[in-house]
Structure 1
Amino acid sequence: MSINDNILIKIRDMKDSLTPVEKLVADYVLDNLEEIPHLSIKSLAQLTKTSDASVLRFCKTMGYKGYRNFIVSISASIGSMDEEQKDQYTDIQPGDDLHTIISNISRNNMKSIEDTLSVIDKREIERAVQVLRESNRIVFFGVGASGLVGIDAEQKFSRINKMCHTYTDGHSQLTAATLLEKNDVAIFISNSGNTAEILDALEIAKKNGACLIAITKYNKSALAEQANIVLSISTPEVTIRSGAMGSRIAMLTVIDILFAGVASAEYKKVKKYLTKTHDILASKQRK
């Protein structure tokens, strides 16, 4: 169950990883939104040149038990579209003035967080918080911008005295994955879910029995399929660096949610660590 369910965002983000037949249904739905709530499953199958079974498989891929649940969700999402249209992703173009850049970057980042709430599963967050609380050690894996998200996560969890570390290059990731054990948690951060270094480390971590958590775009990636827990994010379909910026902001938000979830559940125990780390840092500030 998503925190703020919006099936249109799910279809948009999932489209590129669907089967060819499912993609036919997805394209038709996105191109004919007003028509969809009035169609039977047979009518939609005929219009997409597929079959009733194919449409039903598409609905289940999107997380719905049946066609009726899917149609109800489509209708609800269409009803909220007017407001959302005012706040769509906007790419950064060469030569944009500073005012436009400030506006578009801010809007894209906010939109990434809002859309992530439409695809991330609350039950998966609850599971992730629980295994993090019970873990002996937490290891974060990420490359490039995703590695920076891991470094931020390490800084946060270290403050509440969790044994954790981040690895951002292929060789160190392989070494770290090799040393993981059954009660350890490995968090793999990758927007695409197909980063080669991440998948190599994941394979080793899986063999060692560690719990695998993926923070990745909402799709059918290799990372999402192999992880024990998947925390999905939604990112903009734009061409310049604003796309990577949006995914980073969404990932950082997921990390904040996990940290706050663990810290809140264990507040009596971690309060002393938060106080100690706050006081030592405050004492070093210039007065």
Structure 2
Amino acid sequence: MAINDNIFIKIRDMKENLTPVERMVAETILSNTEEIPHLSIKSLAKLSKTSDASVLRFCKTMGYSGYRNFIVSISAALGSMDDERKDQYTDIQPGDDLSTIIANISRNNCKSIEDTLSVIDPEEVARAVKTLRATDRIIFFGIGASGIVCDDAEQKFSRINKMCHAYTDGHSMLTAATLLSKGNVAIFVSNSGDTLEILEALEIARKNNACTIAITKYNKSELADKADILLGISTPEVTMRSGAMGSRIAMLTVIDILFAGVASAEYQNVKKYLSKTHNILAGKHRR
């Protein structure tokens, strides 16, 4: 269960990966949010032009044991809908004035983090932190905006003396994955979860028995399906570059959570490294 569970966000993010019939149920729910808690399973089946069995199958796909549990989650999510409607994602529009851009980008970034809290699984985070604490080598894989996230991760984990490196181009990723072994951790960062170079490196890492962690959009993808540990993020449905901005902010937040989780659990051991790195950088600033 996510930290700040919101079923509407899950439906939005999963919609394109559902079966055609399940998608009909999803679109009906997203178009009739206020009415759904008052509908029986038969009524929702009729409204969505599907069947009782299809609605129940949809509920199970969303992670619920039955229709009643699903409706309880819908009702809970509706309780916060009024505030969320004021904070919907807004894409960059040609000709926007600077004050509008400042407001919209800030709102989108905040929303990406809030929505990611609705889909990320704390138990998976705990597994990832435990694995990172136990390993002696961490490798980060990502291309483009995801590569920037990997560089940030390398900088953070290096500060607590973890042996780690970020690889951000296809050829170097394949080489790095080939040299992985059992006990190593490979973290793959990809919003889509379908980047070819990432999937090729993932296959090599799995063959070498490295533990694989995916940071990727909360929906069905090859990366999400094949990684040992899945840390899902939620990103906006926008058309311009603000979409990549939102996913990057969400991914950076997940990296911060992992770093803080490891550093906090091992604080007595890593505080000397944090202090040393802080002091050397502070000395540079005084020059």
Structure 2 residue 112 is matched with structure 1 residue 112? yes
**d(CA) in 2 for partners of 1:84, 1:32:** 16
2:89 maps to amino acid: Y
Structure-to-structure mapping, 1:1-287, within 5 angstroms: 1-287=1-287
**d(CA) in 2 for partners of 1:61, 1:178:** 35
Residue by residue over 1:44-94, the C-alpha shift from the partner in whole angstroms, topping out at 9 and shown as x without a partner, is 223323232322221122122221111000011112111111111111111
**d(CA) in 2 for partners of 1:203, 1:186:** 11
**d(CA) in 1 for partners of 2:162, 2:60:** 38
Shift of 1:283: 1.2
4+ long deviations beyond 4 Å:
none
Structure 2 unaligned spans of 5+: none
Residue by residue over 1:146-176, the C-alpha shift from the partner in whole angstroms, topping out at 9 and shown as x without a partner, is 0000000000000001110000011111111
Give the superposed CA RMSD. 1.0
**d(CA) in 1 for partners of 2:269, 2:85:** 45
Aligned positions, number: 287
Residue by residue over 1:118-153, the C-alpha shift from the partner in whole angstroms, topping out at 9 and shown as x without a partner, is 011111111110000011211100000000000000
2:51 maps to amino acid: S
Q: TM-score, normalised by structure 2?
A: 0.98
Structure 1 unaligned spans of 5+: none
2:250 maps to amino acid: A
Q: TM-score, normalised by structure 1?
A: 0.98
Q: Percent identity?
A: 79
The secondary structure found in structure 2 opposite 1:284 is helix
The secondary structure found in structure 1 opposite 2:286 is coil
**d(CA) in 1 for partners of 2:84, 2:155:** 35
